[in-house]
Chains A and B, each alone.
Chain A
Amino acid sequence: MTMPDTPVYDFSQGPSCPIPINEYPAVLMAHGGGGRLTQQLIERMFVPLFANEALAQLHDGAVVTIGGIRLAMSTDSYVVRPIVFPGGSIGELAVNGTVNDLAMCGARPLYLTSAFIIEEGLAMEELWQVVQAMQRAALASGVALVTGDTKVVDRGKGDKIFINTAGVGIVPPGVDIRPDRARPGDLVLVNGPIALHGMAIMSVREGLEFETEIRSDTAPLNGLVEAMIASCPDLHVLRDPTRGGVASALNEIARASGCGILLNEDAIPIPEDVRGACEILGLDPLYVANEGKLLALVPPSCADDVLAAMKNHPLGAGSVVIGKVVEEHGGFVVMKTSIGGNRVVDMLSGEQLPRIC
């Protein structure tokens, strides 16, 4: 597969920095924000150097074949502040996030590794809570944590605790889920209300208090995905709209597949309190992070079956169709607005929120 817009570099003189130094002499927070700058970093700096077929998919995880078995691999680092928030902690995130990345490849997650970078001075009790949260999350998703690493850094050189997890899983035969399989006619499904995790984090950050407690939606989605695949093995695309939110995830799918995506603003489930908080802070919920949501692009022939399977699962009770894949405006996400106009839902350029997940 060829990457759209990926520049070709001549490395015969040795590699030079493909992001011109005069553009960004230093890494900005926005380079980790999940938007356009993150994408540039990945596509210009990382992908050309390590170019290979599995990486070129630019999926949440990679699928490699070993001895006829398709193995899905994924890794993610977790740097959330505060480390405990309404609805969860960095512990749940670290397990669920990697489990979900594997599930978005259609894989059954099996084993995780975990590396801790702990700041000197972190209260042992806080660490214990995080580790217990990881244990609960691992039990809930049915994965085993099989190896790990521990490093401690000087006080002030970390933010309490950073956790990296990596995971492997097996992709069942016949399952082929990747962003470039989106086809015109596919329906876009989401398994419930969006923007909860990001707003839960924002609401407990310094100085921002709301009347009602917004709770993170962090959850392992592998069980839900299994049920969906059972109802329709030909699922085209799955994506968990974490950092950068629903808008960024759909933009990535539109780019990878070359198709257009048409959203219906009225159909997108956003809880009242989340909408209120977003209005106050001037944020667009479409760009706010989720940790227990997935977007599914499903051929129309089995959309009803998948929707029914999702609604039967505890993590999919609020599932709805929010849009469809179209032939027009290839590579772009467009939304029919609540008053009947249209607008482009663009990739986020910079960071919308500081460091959520």
Chain B
Amino acid sequence: MKFIDEFRDRAAAGKLAAQIRATATRPWTIMEICGGQTHTIVKYGIEELLPAELTLVHGPGCPVCVTPLELIDQAIAIALRDDVIFTSFGDMLRVPGSTRDLLSVKAERGTVRLVYSPLDAVKIAQQRPDKRVVFFAVGFETTAPPNAMAVWEARRLGLTNFSILVSHVLVPPAMEVILSSPVNRVQGFLAAGHVCAVMGTGEYLPLAAKYRVPIVVTGFEPLDILTGLLMTIRQLEEGRHEVENEYARVVRPEGNLPARRLISQVFEPVDRKWRGIGTIPCSGYRLRDEFSAYDAEKIYEVGGISAQESPLCIAGQVLQGLKKPHECSAFGHPCTPEHPLGAPMVSSEGACAAYYHFGRFASVTPPGRRIDDDSDRHYVQP
């Protein structure tokens, strides 16, 4: 398949891996920001190709994982109303709230519908004037334009029965939290290609300069990841700290200008709580006041709902790259994709689920290094 197969080529992957081995002269720790990249790394067994000295840590770039518990509870409170059709991307349905998830609301009440696009939710609102349709607007900069477009379109159509429950978060503030932590061990970043496709690469320049850290905008295919790693390691070995673009076939330095314009017309920056991490200043979006008629949090008055995380779950540390999923005492037991304690075990992009589905079985990985020296011990399910 054009634009796919050439980035999954075995010979080219082997060549890149050899270049990485030849370039890296000492241990480096690199974080891939995006959950999609984590997924690729684990799905293709990329770490088997890498030298022992290289440590990959998995970043906070999974929208499902960082959406705070109380937002799930708020979503559930709205979905339980008889006059509402609650719409969401599939992955969000399985994220555990305090007492239940949206899937069980779907099973009990039939008021939850899975959509592939927020514009499908707008369509449902048009078709069902007897119901109030709410879309669960989660995600990073990548999903912000379609979510903004849904609100824009609802206003254009004069719909009064459509709103969105916003939980938008932004990548650069989260990177800053990781970099400014006294226990940070991340020395270089693979930035999330699709976020940069929207926002461009400009906002990473101050981060690279201030923290003297290489940032390479990277795509999502195996060869993208390997190339991004090679570019990052070259910078580290040469003592450079620049923003480079591995994903130039998609990402332009200025990003997607019409999309950025739409985002700023509909949303404005706000402090956001991140699941397992806490509140990060100016790390998300909320609807501008002129769109408050489309703001489900205000319409349904669910802003006051708060919640307490499971004490067993170390999702926050996993999302900041301080711990590996299998270092969690709950990994595999009792926390599984069927019974997730925390969100990273839910989403197909979540670091814990990726480890569980694709990396769990110890003896298929060659002896020697995988992630941490003793990682294999933890790999097999109890």
A: residues with CB less than 8 A from B are 23-30, 36-37, 206-208, 266, 272, 275-276, 279, 281-282, 328-329, 332, 334, 337-344, 346, 349-350, 354
| Complex CA distance for A279 and B5, rounded to whole angstroms | 12
Give per-residue flags for B253-284: 1 if the beta carbon is below 8 A from chain A beta carbons, else 0: 00000000000000000000000000000000
Residues A279 and B4 in contact, CB atoms below 8 Å apart: yes
Interface centre among A24, A28, A37, A279 (most CB of B within 10 A): A28
Interface centre among A208, A340, A341, A354 (most CB of B within 10 A): A341
Residues B117 and A341 in contact, CB atoms below 8 Å apart: no
| Complex CA distance for A332 and B14, rounded to whole angstroms | 26
Which of B1, B14, B44 sits near A343, CB closer than 8 Å? B44
* B183 at the binding interface (Cβ < 8 Å): no
Residues A337 and B336 in contact, CB atoms below 8 Å apart: no
Residues A346 and B357 in contact, CB atoms below 8 Å apart: yes
Residues B94 and A350 in contact, CB atoms below 8 Å apart: yes
Residues A344 and B116 in contact, CB atoms below 8 Å apart: no
| Complex CA distance for A286 and B94, rounded to whole angstroms | 21
Question: Given the known A-B contacts A339-B8, A344-B361, are A28 and B104 also in contact in the complex, defined by CB atoms under 8 Å?
Answer: yes
Question: Given the known A-B contacts A272-B1, A339-B44, are A344 and B364 also in contact in the complex, defined by CB atoms under 8 Å?
Answer: yes
Residues A341 and B48 in contact, CB atoms below 8 Å apart: yes
Contacts of A25 in B (CB 8 A): 104, 108
How many residue pairs, one in A and one in B, have C-beta atoms under 8 Å apart?
102
From A262, which residue of chain B is reached at the shortest CB distance? B364
Residues B364 and A329 in contact, CB atoms below 8 Å apart: yes
Question: Given the known A-B contacts A207-B117, A341-B48, are A346 and B358 also in contact in the complex, defined by CB atoms under 8 Å?
Answer: yes
Residues A350 and B338 in contact, CB atoms below 8 Å apart: yes
Output the least CB separation between B78 and chain A (Å).
19
* B298 at the binding interface (Cβ < 8 Å): no
Residues A29 and B44 in contact, CB atoms below 8 Å apart: no
* B289 at the binding interface (Cβ < 8 Å): no
Chain A interface main SS type = loop
> What are 21 pairs between A and B in contact, CB < 8 Å?
A23-B339, A25-B108, A30-B103, A36-B338, A281-B116, A328-B363, A329-B363, A337-B44, A337-B45, A338-B8, A339-B8, A339-B13, A339-B46, A339-B49, A339-B223, A340-B13, A341-B48, A342-B48, A342-B365, A344-B357, A346-B357
| Complex CA distance for A334 and B362, rounded to whole angstroms | 11
Give the B interface residue count (CB, 8 A): 42
Contacts of A272 in B (CB 8 A): 1
Residues A337 and B104 in contact, CB atoms below 8 Å apart: no
* B51 at the binding interface (Cβ < 8 Å): no
Which of A23, A28, A206, A276 sits near B103, CB closer than 8 Å? A28
Residues A343 and B359 in contact, CB atoms below 8 Å apart: yes
Question: Given the known A-B contacts A26-B108, A342-B364, are A337 and B116 also in contact in the complex, defined by CB atoms under 8 Å?
Answer: no
* 8 Å CB interface, B1-47 against A: 1, 4, 8-10, 13-14, 42-47
Output the least CB separation between B368 and chain A (Å).
14
Output the least CB separation between A331 and chain B (Å).
10
Output the least CB separation between A67 and chain B (Å).
44
